Every structure is written in C-alpha cells, then in structure tokens.
C-alpha cells in the first residue's frame, strides 16, 4: 500500500458539458451528448459522435486568441479544461512554476494537418501549422497559455493516454521530483481517426450500447480534462482542501494483439489487480467501476471476463459512461476520472445508457443511479490499442490526517546493454573506430537483415521503423539476459510517420472511401511499445511518450523514477523515429531541419536499465533532470547537483557558446563532445547521445569525431553529462558515470 495522493482541482470539457457543473447535470438527467456530426468536415455523416458544442473559432474567441494565430482544436479544448482545474486548485503562477504538467493526446494537431496538408506540400501559405502537427506541440501550446511549468511531458498510448498521464504524475510526486502535478489530456475529432476506426469496422451508426447483447461498435467523441494532484504536505502548505484521492493505480500490457483484446482480458485483469494492491484494497472494497466499455463486441466481452476473474460473483455496480460522451480516445481516462469524482462527491451511480439486452457471459451494467451503499472507493479503467491497459482507484477525501509521502533517496541505475540502428552501421559499434561522415542534409538508416526476427509475412506488413525497434529491442534484451522486462517505455516524436503520410495522402487526394486499417493502426505512437510486448509476451508496464525532441527524455525519466521507487526492477527504454523525404521537406520549412552543416537522420535505439549492478553494466546513470523554461536559479541548482564532470555531450554546436556552459565549468572547463554529426538530428536523437556516451564510458575510448573542434581531449572518462535542448525551452540533463 502506498500513501494516497490528493486531488485538489479538476476541469472538464466534453459533449455533455463545458465544465463540471454542466457535466454533472447531464449525468444526473441521463442526457447523452451523442448526436449527428456538426463541426467535423467529413463525408461520413452516418456516424453519430460526441462533439463539444462550440466551433474552433468560438473557442479561440472565448480564450482571447487572436484570429490568424496558429491554434488547433486539441489545444483550445485543453486550455479551457486546464483553466478550470488551475482555478479550483487555486494554483498561482508561482505554484505552476514548481509543478509538472503531463498531458495526453494521440491526434495532436491533426485537425489542421488534414485540412492544410495539400498546402504544406504545394505552397507556403500554412507553414505555421506544420510545427503544430505533433503531439508535443499541443501540450506546449496548452501549457504556455498559463505560464511556465517546471517540466512538460506528453503521453501517447492511444485510448489509455490520459490515464497514463495521471499515473506518470503520481510517480513524479512519489519520487519527490515535484509536489504538484497537473495531469490529463485533450483530443479533438478528426477525419483521420474517424476513418481509421471505420477501417477497423468498429463504429456504430446508432448510439453506442456498451455491454448490450446488440452492441455493434463505438461512437467517437472529443474533449479535454485535467486534474491537479499533489502531496498532502503541499496541500497543507497552500491551505487547499482535496476534492478526492488517487489511492492507487496499475498499468499492464495485454500482449495479445495490436487492436483486439484477449478473450480472458489478461491485461485488464493485471492492471486492475495492481491498482487495488497499490491502494491496499480488496476487490470487495470497490463500490463502483467506471468500465472502459467502448460498445465494441471484443472490448466489452474481454473486459467482462477480466472483471469477473477479479471480482468473482460479487461484482460491484459497473457502467460505461461512453454512452454519454462518446469514446474520447486518448482523453477518456481523465474525462472518466472527473466523472468518477463527481459520482463520489454527489453519491450517485452514472447509468449505462442504451443498455437493454443481457449479453452472454457478460456483466449486467448499472441502470439505476441509486447506489447500494455509500461510495467510498471507485475503479476507473482505460484500455488502449496494443493492449495498453491502465486502472485508477479513486476515493473520497475523508481521511483527516493523510501522511506525507516519504522522500526516497536517489540511487544509481545501470545501463546493462544498448543497441542502435541509425545512419551508422546498424547493431554495431564500428562507428567508434571508423565512423561514416555525411555531408548530405538527409540520410536514411543503414538497415540490417531483419529475417532473424521476423517471418516474411510479418516483414511485409510491418513498417521499417517497427522492424528497427523490434530488432534493437530484442538485441538489447538478449545482451542483458532479460526475456521479459518489467517495463517497456518508448519515446517517439513522430511515430511511424510514413504510415501517417500514407493515410493523410489517401484522405486528401483520394477521399474517405476504402481507407486501409494497417496505416492507421501503425500510425498510433504506442504501436512500437506494444509490438515489442506482443512479440516477447511481456505483460508489465507499457508507455509511450511523444514530446517533440524530448520524447526519449520523457521515457528515460519515467523508467528512472519507477526504478527508484521500486515499482520495477528492469526497463527497456527506446527512442524510435523515422524520416521520410516528404516530411523532411516540411520540417525544413519550419527551420527545424535543413540548416547548414546539419544532417537529418533516423533513430532506433534501445537500452536495458537495471536497478541492480552487474558485470554486464556499461555505465551507471546517477541523475536525470528535466526542466521547462527554467530560470537561472533552477539551472544553477541542477549544475550544483551534477558537480564536476569530465566532458559535456552537447545537443548542437551552438550550445557550446551558450551561457549555460559556464554553470557546469569547475576549476577547468570540461571537454565538449558531439554526436549528431555522427548520428544525425531526429526527435529522439538524444537516445543516441546517451547510447554514444555509454559506449565511451564502457570502452574507455573517445572517437576523434565526437570531440568538438577546438575542445581539449578530457584527461579521464569517468563522468559525462549528456544535455538535450528542445526549442530553446525544454532541457534535459543526464549524468552518466563509469561503472
């Protein structure tokens, strides 16, 4: 059992309300928000959806965002919901500057990308929107509206994303990195994922009926919801009262199929079981379950089996609220958490709208809002593609004296193996003696023969990025002797961008008919992590971060924290991104790529981390710090934690003259090392920087090509600081030491 975490604020925007009061009224009245499409420009008018009852322009006007300023619907809904949560929690600007912000999305700025994609390709009229496409841009746009946060991250695990953002925020609090975290997500409707779900043939042309015998699919929805969570010490110091408790949480992987759940619901069973254990509760303590309950034949059957396995014949009241809101995909976890908190506060059961017929071997959902007895603890489920299953236990804040979360001292974590496929020779350290140097601005990865890992049939169906991720992951696992990591955590800024391009091209130039499911399925960011889990039958923690050039950094920080907390003992951490000629051209328009002397590459890097030292360890990680728009005082504090180092591995040549460099100079300026001249620039290139530094420490050899021109060669190779910088505002500092 862990100490509970306090929830002190919440905000929600969905089709049943633009705030919590409106949402509560709709839930009480049994009023669904699912109706005919109003705002989304799509040919598929046959599908009802749960749209937020405001146009994008109306949202921007309400928020005071000038006409012509780039904005996406995901950002705008996020800003609206976030403002409500910050206000209720009474978070000041000073409070926010010390808090973490973790947001979730899968579509990001796709609503504008699918409108302007032809412009992106043929002219320069909409270039401002190119940089709004990725998931991290949505998160940063939402965060920056309210001023700086201490750190910013983006989760993208399909329909469990927001639940995982809540879990990540809770781990941040328990690790002592911050005392306050703002967690949740935002997701708008797009033609892209409407047609993607349609290609999987799981959309219903009628209002959805979760757990009903006649259920025929889901209705998509949109919205945003955020929570402010904090430690008891923080709440006492600020003088705020909690509105609920986050008592426990669990994340597990079904490891069964990329889009279908297993017949026995193994992943769902494991995530619920872990959440109860984390909260120190028995199944009999749960008074209500807000089920994932999408209304698809597969999910509702699988989830029913999982709940019956865990709760036996004594099932608590269960319902799905997606018949109210639609399936809001990435943000469903935080929207339904807010609904659960309203149920706890007001002591009612959200009913399962549309249910009439008992499904064979399934649960009987709630149709009467009157609870059997007072609600004390509720369970909220969120399940995503690839079997990414997450569960949260929420409680009433009736405990008068909640103890403080104990501070856990940080200890070294060990890198036991690494593997890469990049523009250097793949799965090899030949670059250390004979590096390949490039002058062209864009280079594709030097792929290996994937036959030893994949059958011909698998290889034909799988994009190159997925092949590289699987090959590097299995190579790293084999080298460390770990068959089933406790956690598989991936960073990817763009995911399988080639598949995203394929589906976008089809939609924009061929129309919305005959879209194929494979590009959609492989375009989801967490396809990479789930593929490795399915291939290795690993049922442990599974997460994917998609936060621009800090994507790998977020994944590394997550693994670092959970290893420190003892929630896991081994972790497979990966950084995976591909680059197409077309997308390279678009990013050149934004100024991110195509600069003089810059090489754009592709990244597939995997490393095994272990909480215990071993003879296999290449080096140890003794510090990981992420800072968003840091003050000089914050950076000075980080430099003091780092101490003297032998060399700094810098993110770019310009960083060598940065004023920040003086903070890390002791009696003698440390040597400056580079790696992007060897491996190229990509959203997850930082993973290759960590990889290169680990090899240098392990081999005690520094390749000439890594030494920045004009920098002196270090006298020893014991402590290397690897720095990342994203957009001049997001910084990561990772200290590696010789083992």
Q: pLDDT grade, residue 469 (50/70/90)? A: very high
pLDDT tens, 707-730? 999 999 999 999 999 999 999 999
Model confidence at 202: pLDDT above 70: yes
Q: Are residues 609 and 659 in the same domain?
A: no
Give the whole-angstrom CA distance, residue 512 versus residue 178.
46
Q: Is 605 within a domain?
A: yes
DSSP H helical segments within 219-331, as ranges?
232-238, 266-279, 297-311, 322-325
Do 427 and 303 share a structural domain? no
Other beta carbons within 10 angstroms of residue 186's beta carbon come to 36
Return the pLDDT at 660: 83
CATH code at position 640: 3.40.47.10
Share of the chain above pLDDT 70, in %: 99
Flag whether 669 is in a domain: yes
Q: Which of 395, 423, 439 is the last residue of a domain?
A: 395
Same domain, 185 and 52: yes
Q: Average the pLDDT over 633-661 and give the result.
A: 92
Answer whether 602's CB lies under 8 Å from 682's CB. yes
Q: Round to whole Å and give the CA distance between 628 and 30.
A: 42
Average pLDDT over residues 663-684: 88
Residues 6+ apart with CB under 8 A from 378: 286, 287, 288, 289, 290, 340, 343, 344, 393, 394, 395
In this prediction, residues 502-529 reach a mean pLDDT of 94
Task: Evaluate whether 699 touches 431 at the Cβ level (below 8 Å).
Answer: no
- C-alpha to C-alpha distance for 114 and 40, rounded to whole angstroms: 11
Based on the fold, state whether residues 541 and 631 are members of the same structural domain: no
CA-based max dimension of the chain: 76
Q: What is the pLDDT of residues 153-166, one digit of tens each?
A: 999 999 999 999 99
Mean pLDDT of 667-672: 78
408 assigned to some structural domain = no
Rounded Cα distance between 294 and 216, Å, is 10
**Position 667 pLDDT exceeds 70:** no
Residues 16 and 75 in one domain: yes
> Is 70 exceeded by the pLDDT of residue 666?
no
Say which range, 227-236, 393-402, 469-478, has the weakest mean pLDDT: 393-402
Of 585, 618, 651, which residue sits at a domain end? 618
- CA pair distance 124, 118, nearest whole angstrom: 10
CA 717 to chain centre: 34
Question: What is the mean predicted confidence (pLDDT) over 273-284?
Answer: 97
Q: How confident is the model at residue 443 (pLDDT cuts 50, 70, 90)?
A: very high
Give domain status of residue 342, yes or no.
yes
Give the H/E segment covering residue 89.
Answer: helix 73-89
State mean pLDDT over 376-398.
Answer: 95
Are 344 and 476 part of one and the same domain?
no
Radius of gyration from C-alpha coordinates of the chain = 24
Does the pLDDT value for residue 294 go beyond 80?
yes
Tell me phi and psi for residue 575, to 5 degrees: -130, 115
Instruction: Give yes or no: residues 220 and 155 share one domain.
Output: yes
pLDDT band per the 50, 70, 90 thresholds, residue 659: confident
Q: Is the pLDDT of residue 669 over 80?
A: no
The answer to whether residues 109 and 134 touch, using CB atoms and an 8 Å cutoff, is yes
Q: What is the dihedral of CA 528, 530, 534, 537, to 10 degrees?
A: 120
How far apart (Å, rounded) are the C-alpha atoms in residues 176 and 65?
Answer: 36
Distance CA 328, CA 543 (A): 19
Query: What integer pLDDT is reported at residue 400 of this predicted model?
Result: 62
pTM: 0.97
Of 126, 194, 184, the residue nearest 153 (C-alpha): 184
Average the pLDDT over 581-599 and give the result.
96
Residue 700: band (very low, low, confident or very high) from pLDDT cuts 50, 70, 90? very high
Asked if 525 and 426 sit in the same domain, the reply is yes
CB contact at 8 A, 328 and 187: yes
Task: Tell me, yes or no, whether 388 and 531 share the same domain.
Answer: no
Structural domain contains residue 401 = no
Q: How far apart are CA 53 and CA 60, in angstroms?
A: 13
27 is a domain residue: yes
How would you class 738 by CB atoms within 10 Å of its CB: exposed for 0-12, middle for 13-18, buried for 19 or more? middle
What domain count does the chain have? Answer: 3
- Domain termination residue (choose one: 553, 586, 618): 618
Give me 461's structure tokens.
């169906």
CA torsion, points 226, 228, 229, 233, in degrees to nearest 10?
A: 180
Per-chain mean pLDDT for the chain: 95
Confidence at residue 334, expressed as pLDDT on a 0 to 100 scale: 98
Domain that holds residue 674: 621-738
* Mean pLDDT, residues 660-681 taken together: 86
The pLDDT score that the predictor gives to residue 137 is 96
Q: Is the pLDDT of residue 683 over 60?
A: yes
pLDDT grade, residue 399 (50/70/90)?
low
pLDDT, one tens digit per residue, over 7-52 is 999 999 999 999 999 999 999 999 999 999 999 999 999 999 999 9
User: Does residue 301 share a domain with residue 165?
Assistant: yes
Same domain, 517 and 649: no
Chain-centroid distance of CA 104 in Å reads 6
Assign residue 361 a region (left: φ > 0; alpha: ψ between -120 and 50; beta: otherwise).
left
* pLDDT tens string 419-442: 999 999 999 999 999 999 999 999
Burial class (CB in 10 A: 0-12, 13-18, 19+), 556: buried
Q: What is the DSSP letter of 213?
A: T
pLDDT tens digit sequence for 540-589? 999 999 999 999 999 999 999 999 999 999 999 999 999 999 999 999 99
The answer to whether residue 402 sits within a structural domain is no
Note whether 194 and 147 are same-domain residues.
Answer: yes
How many secondary structure helices (H) and strands (E) does the chain include? Answer: 23, 20
Structure tokens at 651: 């993110």
* Token pair listed for 725: 């910088």
State residue 86 phi and psi, 5-degree precision: -65, -40
Whole-angstrom CA distances from 520 to 69, 74, 252, 499 are 29, 19, 23, 7
Burial of 374 (0-12, 13-18, 19+ CB in 10 A): exposed
- Residue 46's pLDDT is 97
The phi and psi torsions of 378 (rounded to 5 degrees) equal -125, 155
Instruction: Assign 668 a pLDDT band (cuts: 50, 70, 90).
Output: low
Measured CA to CA, the distance from residue 159 to residue 166 in angstroms comes to 13
Q: Residues 165, 185: contact at Cβ < 8 Å?
A: yes
Report CA-CA distances (Å) from 392 to 165, 251, 338, 383: 11, 9, 12, 12
Q: Are strands 487-491 and 318-319 parallel, antiparallel or unpaired?
A: unpaired
pLDDT at 529 over 90: yes
User: Are 104 and 185 contacting, i.e. CB atoms less than 8 angstroms apart?
Assistant: yes
Cα–Cα distance measured from residue 265 to residue 304, given in angstroms and rounded to the nearest whole number: 8
Residue 406 lies in a domain: no
């Amino acid at each position: 059992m862990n100490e509970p975490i306090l929830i002190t604020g919440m905000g929600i925007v969905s089709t049943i309300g633009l705030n919590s009061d409106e949402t509560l009224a709709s839930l009480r009245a049994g009023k669904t928000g699912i109706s005919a499409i109003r705002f989304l420009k799509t040919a598929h008018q046959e599908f009802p959806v749960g749209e937020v009852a405001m146009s994008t322009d109306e949202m921007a006007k309400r928020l005071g965002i000038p006409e012509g300023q780039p904005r996406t619907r995901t950002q705008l809904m996020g800003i609206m919901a976030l403002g409500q949560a910050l206000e209720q929690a009474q978070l000041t600007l000073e409070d926010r500057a010390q808090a973490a912000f973790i947001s979730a999305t899968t579509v990001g700025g796709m609503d504008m990308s699918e409108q302007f994609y032809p412009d992106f390709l043929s002219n320069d009229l909409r270039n401002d929107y190119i940089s709004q496409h990725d998931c991290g841009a949505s998160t940063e746009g939402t965060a920056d509206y309210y001023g700086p946060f201490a750190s910013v991250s983006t989760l993208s695990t399909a329909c469990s994303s927001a639940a995982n953002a809540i879990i990540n925020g809770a781990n941040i609090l328990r690790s002592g990195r911050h005392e306050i975290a703002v967690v949740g997500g935002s997701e708008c409707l797009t033609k892209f994922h409407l047609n993607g779900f349609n290609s999987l043939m799981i959309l219903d042309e009628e209002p959805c009926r979760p757990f009903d015998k006649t259920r025929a699919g889901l209705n998509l929805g949109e919205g945003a919801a955020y929570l402010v969570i904090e430690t008891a010490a923080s709440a006492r110091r600020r003088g705020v009262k909690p509105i609920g408790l986050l008592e426990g949480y669990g994340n597990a992987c079904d490891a069964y199929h990329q889009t279908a759940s297993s017949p026995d619901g193994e992943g769902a069973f494991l995530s619920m079981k872990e959440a109860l254990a984390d909260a120190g509760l028995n199944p009999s303590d749960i008074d209500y379950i807000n089920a994932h309950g999408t209304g698809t034949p597969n999910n509702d059957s699988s989830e029913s089996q999982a709940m019956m396995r865990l709760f036996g014949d004594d099932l608590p009241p269960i319902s799905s609220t997606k018949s109210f809101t639609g399936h809001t995909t990435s943000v469903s976890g935080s929207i339904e958490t807010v609904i659960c908190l309203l149920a706890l506060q007001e002591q009612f059961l959200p009913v399962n709208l549309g249910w009439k017929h008992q499904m064979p071997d399934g649960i009987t959902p709630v149709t009467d809002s009157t609870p059997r007895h007072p609600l004390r603890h509720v369970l909220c489920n969120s399940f995503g593609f690839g079997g990414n299953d997450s569960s949260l236990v929420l409680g009433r804040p009736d405990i008068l004296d909640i103890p403080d979360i104990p501070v856990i001292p940080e200890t070294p974590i060990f890198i036991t193996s690494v593997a890469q496929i990049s523009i250097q020779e793949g799965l090899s350290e030949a670059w250390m003696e004979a590096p390949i140097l490039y002058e062209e601005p864009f280079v594709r990865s030097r792929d290996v023969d994937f036959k030893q890992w994949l059958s011909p049939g698998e290889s034909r169906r799988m994009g190159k990025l997925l092949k590289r991720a699987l090959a590097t992951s299995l190579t790293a696992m084999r080298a460390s002797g770990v068959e089933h990591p406790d956690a598989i955590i991936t960073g990817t800024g763009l995911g399988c961008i080639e598949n995203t391009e394929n589906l976008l091209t089809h939609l924009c130039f061929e129309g919305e008919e005959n879209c194929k499911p494979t590009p959609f399925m492989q375009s989801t960011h967490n396809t990479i992590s789930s593929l490795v889990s399915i291939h290795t039958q690993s049922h442990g923690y599974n997460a994917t971060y998609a936060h621009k050039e800090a994507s790998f950094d977020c994944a590394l920080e997550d693994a670092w924290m959970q290893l420190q907390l003892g929630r896991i003992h081994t972790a497979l951490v990966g950084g995976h991104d591909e680059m197409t000629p077309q997308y390279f051209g678009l990013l050149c328009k934004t100024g991110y790529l195509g600069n003089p002397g810059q090489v754009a590459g592709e990244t597939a890097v995997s490393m095994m981390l272990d909480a215990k030292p071993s003879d296999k360890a290449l080096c140890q990680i003794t510090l990981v710090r992420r800072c968003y728009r840091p003050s000089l005082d914050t950076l000075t504090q980080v430099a003091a934690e780092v101490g003297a180092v032998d060399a700094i591995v810098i993110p770019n040549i310009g960083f060598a003259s940065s004023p920040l460099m003086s903070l890390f100079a002791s009696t003698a300026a440390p040597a400056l090392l580079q790696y992007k001249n060897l491996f190229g620039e990509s959203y997850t290139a930082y993973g290759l920087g960590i990889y290169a530094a680990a090899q240098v420490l392990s081999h005690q050899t520094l390749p000439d090509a890594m030494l920045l021109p004009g920098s002196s060669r270090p006298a020893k190779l014991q402590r290397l600081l690897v720095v990342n910088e994203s957009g001049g505002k997001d910084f990561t500092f990772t200290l590696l030491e010789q083992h």
